[in-house]
Structures are given as C-alpha cells and as structure tokens.
A and B are shown apart, each in its own frame.
Chain A
Amino acid sequence: MKTIYFLVLVPMVYLAFAVFLAGVIFQLLKVIKRPAFKPTLAIHPKRNPAFLWAILDALLLPTVWRHKRTLWFFLMAFHISFLMVFLGHLELITEMSWLQVIGHEIFMGQGFLGLIMSLALLYFFFRRFASPTKELSVPEDYLLLMLLFLTVVFGSEMDWARRWYDYGEMSVQEYRAYLSSIFMFKPSIAAVSTSGHSFMLVLHVFFANLFLMFFPFSHLMHSIFGFALNKIRRG
C-alpha cells in the first residue's frame, strides 16, 4: 500500500504537472503558430474599451446570466469557490503572508466551498442528461465532470473531517510538510501517509493528477482562451 501511496503522491504528481505544463504550452504554441485571421469577427454594436468588456464577459458571464440564470448561479458559485480553493492550496505549500492580508483560516469557507463545488458539479453533470445538452455532450464532458467531482469530494472530505467532525490527525502542518517537499523537489510523504485519512488524500491527489493531465487536451482550455475569444467578439 505504501508503494501505491508513494507512486500517487510523488511520481504521478510530477508527471501530472509536467503533462499539464507541457500540454498547455503546446496548445498555446499551436494557436500562436497558426496564421492570424485578419478580418474582424466582432459583433455589433461595439462598446469601448473592448478589452475591459471582454474581461467582464470572461469573468462575469453576462450572456449566461441573461439566458440561463440557474446555470449562471452554479457557474459563478463553482468558479469563485474554485478560485478560493486554489488559493487555499497555495497556502498549503507554504505560508503566504500576501494571501493573509485579510486574515482567514486555511482553507477559507468553513468547509462550505467544497460543498458548493460538489453540488455545482452534480448540477453540471445531471443537466447533461436533459435534451438538447444531452445530444451535444460527448463522453469527455461526463468524464471531466466525474474526475472533478471525485477530486473535490475526496479533497473536501479532509476539510470536512477537520472542521465538522474534529478529526485532528491531518492538519495544515502535515499537508504543508508534504506539499512543500514536493515543490522543493525533496519529496517526502511521511507526514501524510500514516493517518487513517491518508487514503482520502491519495484518492484526492490521484483524481487531481488525472484531471491535470487531461486539462490541456480538453475543452477546459476555455479557461485560457476565454478572454481572447471574448476580445475577438468585442472587436
């Protein structure tokens, strides 16, 4: 079992990050290297400054707000929670005082961020079973949502255990010991491999690894191309 823990928590993590970074760079280069399409593709009427409107389009999803309000609430809840959880993970690597400008516990959200993300992902998943989204969806869409859901659920469970069930064995210090060792290229899983909840961490990291490796080759690249495309639409 220790070997499996090690493989998932160390080499697979490095592999996942390598594939993620190389994949994203490859996708960006692919776009950059292609010839530019010169004619305008803007929609009228235009509003200036276009780049500011494009940023708003990418961050606030006004078209979704206008046409599918329930989806908008879940999308915003998911993406805001995701951002906060991402910041929480940064704080699990090492202490980051710049993130503590507004003092908070690690993680923020009292455990509810994971819950919000889980519910949002279930909504995203099950809405794909209704026509016409059902006919539009391909297996990749379900697979990505399942991977994300499993990642979130196993990750959140560790947070929930500490906050809601007073499970004290794995604390921020243990996660920091593990994550900082990974980032310093001196990997050690000693701090996180002996707890009763270690398997939760291993499953969380396992699904996160798969998700990261899938990311650059999936439509998740919308997180990177979204602004550029909105800018093209804005002119």
Chain B
Amino acid sequence: MEKALREELISLFRGKLSGTMEMYLETCARCGICTEACHAYASMPLPKYTPAYRAEVVRRIYKKYFKWQGKTFPRIGECKVLDESAIDELKEAAYSCTGCRRCMVYCPFGIDTQQIMSIAKLLLVGAHAEPELLSLLADVSISKGESMDDLKEGFLEGVKSLESEVVEKWRQEAGRTPIPTEVVGADLLYVALAGAHSIIPAAAIFNAAGENWTLSFFEAVNFGAFVGDPSKTKIIMDRIVNEAKRLKVKEVCICECGTAFRVMSQLSGKQPFKVSSITRVHARYIKEGRIKVDKKKLSVPVTYHDPCQIARNAGVIDEPRYILSQLTDNFVEMSPEPKYNWCCGGGGGLVAMGEETLDFRMKSSRVKADQVRNTGAQVLATACENCHTQLSNINDHYKLGMNVQFLSSLIADALIR
C-alpha cells in the first residue's frame, strides 16, 4: 500500500474517533462473552465470526497508529500495519457483521461492534475496496435525487398506475386521490421504498385512517449507510429532510425498512417534524379507532421477527405486538425477550448485495431458521424490507414452508369499515 493512501486512511480513521469510540476501542478485555451472541458464530462456530474478533481487526490498526503501544511494543497487542492484508481482514470483518448489535446486549461493557465496524467500512471506502454494488447503489440513489425534476414525470406515472390496486384494498370517498403527492401542509410524509409492495398497502391504510398524507419522491433506503460512507448517508438522508421541510409536514413516516428508520430517526438531528416508523403509525391508528381490522382473517399461528434496527436498536417493540393482538388470537412469540431475538442475517448491506452474499447469508442464519421453525407458526410477519427478503430466502433454503409477510400487508388485508 502506498504511503499516501495509508496516511489518508489513517486520517479517515481519526475522523471516526469520537470519545465514545475511543472508549469502545480501549475497553474490550477480549473475555469472549459476546461470542455466542453472533448468529454467524452460532451458525458457523469459527472465531473470525465472533464480535470481539471482528472488533479486534479494527482495534489492532488503532493500536498501531493511535496508541503508544503501537510505536513501542507492537507485538504485545498484535498491532497491525494498515496494508493490503489488513484491508482484506477489514472487508471480511465488516461484511460478515450485519450490525444487529445483539453482541452489545451480551458485552459487560456494552461495546458496540456496529460502531467499530463503521470504521472498517469507512476504511474500505477510502481504499476503494468496498463492495462495488453497494457503492453503485448509493451513487445511483444520489444521482436519482439530483435529477428528480427530470424523473418526476415518470415517478408520477408509476404512482398513478398503482392507484387502482390501492382502491381495491380501500375504496375511499370520490374525488380523493388514492396516492397523493406534493401536498404542501400534509400532516404526514410517507417515505416508501421503490416497489409497489411498499406503497399499495401503506396507501390503503393511510386512506382508511383518513390521514392527510403525501408520498415522498424519494425512496427511504439509505445505501450510504449500508456501505458506511457518512457523506453519502447524509446526502441521501438530507433530501428527505429538505422535502419534509418544503412540504411543511408534521411527521415523516418511514416505511418498513430498518436502516432507513434508524438513520432518519437517530441521525437527522432536531427537526420541525417528528420521525415515526410505519409500524408505530399503524398501531396508533388502531388504538385511536381510525382503522378497524378483522381478527378472523388470520386463523393460523403467526409469529413476528423483530427487525434489529427497528426493535433492539430503535425501540419499536410493543407496537407490532399490539397490532398482531388485533389481527389474530394465534400469535406466537419468537424469542422470550425481543432484545435477544436472533438477527435474520441480512442486515448491514448483505441482502442488498444479493447473490454475492447468498451462500454466507444462508449458512450464517441456521440459528434463525431453527428459531423460526420452533415457533410452529405458519405466517412469519416482519416490518423490514431486508429482513423480509432474507427470511424469504431462509424460508426457501431451509424449506420452512412459512408464509413470509410484511406486517403492513397483513393490516391492509384485514381492513374493515
């Protein structure tokens, strides 16, 4: 590795060193309590899949360049020179971690491996060694945002074509647009994913609730966060923030996408609108009597997978259970405690990388498949696009015979007047 590149990477590393990060890097006693926390290690017991090992890959570089030890007694801490082999190690560590933060629940100090992996991902971006597909997706997302005026017409045509399917689910008063866009002063801005499945059920429920809503021009998913590039993450996030400000909405509702919700709710800072997950909004509608659902629609056993970024990492835990209690009398818990729920194995950009990661994703999710199977449920609901894709893959791979559903779809299908 050339000296200039190494110095640039060290500078990127330095930029990630907040006070909290310093403590994360200084504190690990390598006690190994976190080992069983990781679904990848639990499914494939190789030391490289333990959270502490992954973090140590970054920590060894930290010790080399930011600690006295690295300059005096590098062997004591097995300090690592930032070279090509270090980049390979960083890549394996970062992209075998889904950022689920289950290990943080186990660690006696609460060390956040996802935060430490954010350093690994940034160094990979700096070394142009990140997964190309993720960078490409982030770039496409940004360029789409930049040329929104040119794409608006096509977007509106696409939205128009979905309206009949929305009306099929919920016929509202004549004269009202099934999928409103550009409504200045709307109460709620809904940020969906690119895909009818993310828009149709949500639109039907908003209409059933009589919500004064508008659909965002931008898709919620933040590929910048997946690839670990803070500047791209911010660009993708800011355009939604700016749209919400321009439309003067009171609430930004993020679709069933864990990363999108976590980025928007935790990284956007103080804003003149509140950020909600769609699951919270739906629970609110039911509680307030704004929508009614038919409990008879779901008679088979139903279980729910808590998406890590929405539940453990953002606190949306009671709401999906409340919704399911209104949808069925046959709900089966997946994990005795939601914070201990196994990660599906698809987060951190792994699902977005598609076939490239499929083999690892399936091998590393054996414990998840066992957990799902043990519920004895026939319907597997979740509230995250990544989880849904991964669980569908698991369902096929492990022949679970489940019906994998979005929670919002279950609600939309159960709407009654």
| A interface with B by C-beta (< 8 Å) | 27, 30-41, 43-46, 57, 61, 63-64, 67-68, 71, 131-141, 143, 217, 219, 221-222, 225-226, 228-230, 232-234
Residue among A27, A44, A221 with most chain B CB within 10 A: A44
Q: Is the CB of B47 within 8 A of A63?
A: no
> A64 contacts which chain B residues (CB < 8 A)?
31, 33, 108
Chain B residue contacts of A44, Cβ below 8 A: 311-315, 317, 339
* For the complex of A and B, 6 pairs with smallest distance between CB atoms: A233-B110, A135-B47, A37-B18, A44-B315, A133-B32, A132-B47
Report yes or no: B53 in contact with A138, Cβ–Cβ below 8 A: no
**Does B325 make an interface contact (CB < 8 A)?**
no
Q: Which residues of B contact A221 (CB under 8 A)?
A: 26-27
B interface residue numbers (CB < 8 A to A): 17-24, 26-33, 35-37, 41, 45, 47-48, 50, 52-53, 56, 67-69, 75-78, 101, 104-112, 115, 266-267, 269, 311-315, 317, 338-339
Structural contact, B26 and A40, CB atoms closer than 8 A = no
Task: Give the docked Cα–Cα distance between A46 and B79 (Å).
Answer: 36
Query: Is there an interface contact between A226 and B109, defined as CB atoms closer than 8 Å?
Result: yes
Of B31, B314, B315, which contacts A71 at CB under 8 A? Answer: B31
Contact (Cβ within 8 A) A35 B19: yes
CB-nearest residue of chain A relative to B26? A221
30 A-B contacts (beta carbon < 8 Å): A33-B19, A34-B17, A37-B115, A41-B112, A43-B101, A43-B110, A43-B312, A44-B314, A44-B317, A44-B339, A45-B338, A45-B339, A57-B110, A63-B33, A63-B107, A64-B108, A67-B37, A67-B106, A132-B45, A133-B32, A135-B47, A136-B30, A136-B47, A136-B56, A138-B76, A140-B76, A222-B28, A225-B109, A226-B108, A233-B104
Q: Which of A41, A63, A136, A219 contacts B20 (CB 8 A)?
A: A41
Minimum CB–CB distance from A107 to chain B (whole Å) comes to 26
| Inter-subunit contact B53/A139 (CB<8 Å) | no
Q: Which residues of A contact B30 (CB under 8 A)?
A: 133, 136-138, 141, 219
Chain A residues whose CB sits within 8 angstroms of the CB of B17 once the complex forms: 34
Q: Are B21 and A219 in contact (CB under 8 A)?
A: no
Given A35-B19, A228-B23, A232-B20, A68 contacting B33 (CB threshold 8 A) = yes
Cα–Cα, bound, A68→B108 (Å): 11
**Shortest Cβ distance from B78 into A: residue:** A138
Residues from chain B with Cβ under 8 Å of A138 in the complex: 30, 56, 76-78
* Residues of B contacting A219 in the complex (Cβ-Cβ under 8 angstroms): 26-30
Tell me the minimal C-beta distance from A38 to chain B in angstroms. Answer: 8
CA distance A38 to B20 in the complex (A): 10
- Is the CB–CB distance between B21 and A34 below 8 Å? yes
Which one, A37, A57, A63, A136, contacts B52 given CB within 8 A?
A136
Contacts of B105 in A (CB 8 A): 43, 63
* Closest residue on chain B to residue A222 by CB atoms: B27
Question: Which B residues lie within 8 Å of A61 (CB)?
Answer: 108
Q: A27: which B residues are within 8 A, CB to CB?
A: 26
A229 touches B22 (CB 8 A): no
By the criterion CB–CB under 8 Å, are B35 and A132 in contact? yes
**Other CB < 8 Å A-B pairs besides A67-B33, A132-B53, 16 of them?**
A30-B22, A37-B19, A37-B21, A39-B267, A41-B20, A41-B115, A43-B312, A57-B110, A63-B105, A67-B37, A132-B50, A135-B53, A139-B75, A221-B27, A225-B26, A232-B20
Q: Which residue of A lies closest to B20 (CB)?
A: A37
- The CA-CA distance from A132 to B51 in the complex, in Å, is 11
- Tell me the smallest distance from the CB of B359 to a CB of chain A, in Å: 22
Instruction: Name the distance in Å between A143's Cβ and chain B's nearest Cβ.
Output: 7
Chain B residues near A68 (CB-CB < 8 A): 33
Closest Cβ of chain A: how far from B232's Cβ, in Å? 17
Q: How distant is the Cα of A68 from the Cα of B32 in the complex, in angstroms? A: 10
| Neighbour of B32 across the interface among A33, A34, A43, A136, CB < 8 A | A136
Residue with the highest number of chain B CB atoms closer than 10 Å, among A64, A136, A143, A228 = A136
Pick the contact of B266 from A31, A39, A71, A234 — CB < 8 Å? A39
> A45 contacts B18, CB within 8 Å?
no
B166 to chain A, nearest CB (A): 33
Q: Find the B residue at minimum CB distance from A44.
A: B315
Asked whether A230 and B109 contact (CB < 8 A) given A40-B266, A71-B31, the answer is: yes
Measured CA separation A222–B107 after assembly (Å): 12
Kindly list chain A residues whose C-beta atoms are within 8 Å of the C-beta of B53: 132, 135-136
Q: Given A37-B19, A43-B105, A67-B36, are A222 and B29 neighbors across the interface (CB < 8 Å)?
A: yes
Kindly state the separation between the CA atoms of A45 and B45 in the bound complex, as whole angstroms: 29
Is A34 a contact of B18 with CB atoms below 8 Å? yes
Separation in Å of the A113 CB from the closest CB of chain B?
22
Q: A residues within 8 A CB of B27? A: 219, 221-222, 225-226, 229
**What CA separation (Å) do A136 and B28 show in the bound complex?**
10
Does the CB pair A71–B20 fall under 8 Å?
no
Taken together as a complex, chains A and B put the C-alpha atoms of A161 and B115 apart, in Å, by 50
Nearest CB in chain B to that of A127: its residue: B32
Interface pair A232/B110, CB less than 8 Å apart: yes
Q: Which of B35, B76, B314 contacts A139 (CB 8 A)?
A: B76
In the complex formed, the residue of B with least CB distance to A139 is B76
| Bound-complex Cα distance A124 to B368 (A) | 32
State A140–B76 Cα separation when bound (angstroms): 5
Q: Are A140 and B110 in contact (CB under 8 A)?
A: no
CB distance from A88 to the nearest CB of B (A): 25
Q: Given the complex, which residues of A lie within 8 Å of B269, measured CB to CB? A: 38
Chain B nearest CB from A154 CB (Å) reads 23
Expressed in whole angstroms, the Cα–Cα distance for A32 and B23 within the complex equals 10
Chain B residues with Cβ below 8 Å from A67 are 33, 36-37, 106
The answer to whether B315 touches A45 (Cβ under 8 A) is: yes
Closest-CB distance, A184 to chain B (whole angstroms): 32
Q: Which residues of B contact A233 (CB under 8 A)?
A: 104, 110, 112
